[in-house]
């Protein structure tokens, strides 16, 4: 399994003092985990609507991409706070990078497998002998845990699944290199439909419905920084304004999508796609006020510990999340 952090990056991170990206009491650098899109609307809305400014904050939103690993950016001091899927964050923590979840704006997972119906796949047990596209860089962990719970090996053969390392597109399904691919409800699933495939040609398996959903898009900071009262105060203000941005985005999805488009320097996103994405993202953030639900954390940990011979984490994490920031921010 790919090491999330290179030894060099890690030793550098551990040797670094508890400094953060910018010592300035009111500046915050946020590292996104992917390119500018409605998945991150709440933060762009909070900035655009002046919610950060109201809290006295100067927030810089750093777009991600295929070559950017948020934990490494955080470790190197390139950001004060990052967005990450919990499996990736907990694996980084166990490997020695002390990241802590300070807020959880997404209540529900948007991850699912999308399969061709004509492959005969009706249930996860039908994955045997099939080829499945899976994203890596930490996104593979929920899948590996799920297969382990189903008792299905992930090294190919008639009784196992062949894992295809999927790029961030839907080509392997369209070109039938894979029987199923990873899709997010709010992104790639729509791309499959845009390619002219109809929903009745497909079978989908939401991780949430399979009981193996792990928390996505949480807000993380370094443990040492959280010991600094000034940094902590800054995070309280950041989380409060960010959640205000998320709730505004849920209530005004089209406007939120337009704000995202205004911030898309790549010019790659389209209005139709971003509006559809925002509608789906709103379903995932709807159940959260920003506070992490301990039951969701425990389910995530249980899913990851069930990873069989290649577990994502080998023991129950301690100190991996705190409610101190949200307790204060949501008063």
How far is residue 325's CA from residue 328's CA, in Å, rounded to a whole number? 5
On whether residue 301 sits in a domain, the answer given is: yes
Q: How many domains does the chain have?
A: 2
Q: What pLDDT shows up at residue 1?
A: 37
Boundary (domain end) residue, out of 165, 190, 210 = 210
Residues 191 and 45 in one domain: no
Task: For residue 301, give its domain range.
Answer: 27-108+215-330
Q: What pLDDT shows up at residue 130?
A: 98
Residue whose entry in the numeric block shows the structure tokens 């039951």: 295
What kind and span of H or E run contains 62?
A: strand 58-62
Boundary (domain end) residue, out of 210, 243, 268 = 210
On whether residue 185 sits in a domain, the answer given is: yes
Which residues sit opposite 99 in a β-bridge? 222
Boundary (domain end) residue, out of 183, 210, 237 = 210
Residue 221: closest CA among 318, 77, 106: 77
Q: 67: exposed, middle or buried (C-beta count within 10 Å: 0-12, 13-18, 19+)?
A: exposed
The Cβ of residue 157 has, within 10 Å, a number of other Cβ atoms equal to 10
Residues 43 and 158 in one domain: no
Residues 116 and 263 in one domain: no
Residues 204 and 249 in one domain: no
Residues 78 and 117 in one domain: no
How far is residue 3's CA from residue 16's CA, in Å, rounded to a whole number? 20
Residues 51 and 86 in one domain: yes
Residues 124 and 261 in one domain: no
Q: What pLDDT shows up at residue 20?
A: 46
Which portions of the chain are predicted below pLDDT 70? 1-23, 137-138, 307-310
Q: What pLDDT shows up at residue 310?
A: 64
Q: What pLDDT shows up at residue 139?
A: 72
Find out whether 137 and 122 touch, Cβ atoms under 8 Å.
no
Which CATH number is 35's domain given?
3.40.190.10
On whether residue 15 sits in a domain, the answer given is: no
Find out whether 178 and 133 touch, Cβ atoms under 8 Å.
yes
Residues 201 and 248 in one domain: no
Coil, strand or helix at 36:
coil
On whether residue 10 sits in a domain, the answer given is: no
Reported pTM:
0.87
């Amino acid at each position: 399994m790919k090491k999330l952090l290179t030894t060099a990056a890690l030793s550098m991170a551990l040797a670094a003092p508890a400094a953060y990206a910018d010592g300035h009491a009111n500046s915050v650098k946020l590292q996104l985990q992917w390119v500018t899109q409605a998945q991150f609307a709440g933060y762009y809305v909070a900035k655009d609507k002046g919610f950060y400014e109201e809290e006295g904050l100067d927030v810089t939103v750093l777009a991600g991409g295929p070559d950017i690993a948020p934990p490494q950016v955080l470790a190197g001091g390139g950001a004060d706070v990052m967005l990450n899927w919990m499996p990736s964050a907990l694996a980084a923590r166990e490997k020695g990078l002390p990241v802590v979840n300070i807020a959880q704006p997404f209540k529900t997972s948007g991850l699912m497998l999308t399969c061709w119906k004509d492959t005969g796949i009706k249930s996860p047990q039908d994955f045997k002998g099939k080829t499945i596209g899976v994203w890596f860089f930490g996104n593979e962990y929920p899948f590996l845990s799920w297969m382990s719970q189903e008792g299905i090996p992930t090294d190919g053969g008639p009784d196992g699944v062949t894992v295809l390392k999927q790029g961030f597109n839907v080509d392997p399904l369209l070109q039938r290199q894979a029987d199923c691919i990873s899709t997010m409800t709010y992104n790639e699933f729509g791309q499959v439909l845009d390619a002219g495939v109809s929903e009745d040609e497909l079978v989908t398996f939401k991780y949430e419905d399979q009981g193996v959903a792990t928390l996505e898009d949480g807000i993380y900071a370094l443990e040492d920084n959280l010991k600094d009262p000034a940094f902590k105060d800054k995070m309280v203000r950041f989380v409060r304004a960010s959640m205000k941005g998320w709730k505004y985005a849920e209530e005004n999805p089209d406007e939120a999508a337009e704000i995202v488009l205004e911030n898309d320097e790549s010019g790659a996103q389209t209005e139709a796609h971003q509006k559809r994405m925002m509608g789906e993202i709103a379903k995932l953030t709807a159940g959260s006020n920003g506070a992490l639900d301990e039951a969701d954390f425990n389910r995530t940990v249980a899913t990851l510990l069930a990873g069989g011979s290649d577990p994502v984490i080998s023991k129950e994490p301690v100190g991996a999340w705190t409610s101190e920031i949200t307790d204060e921010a949501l008063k």
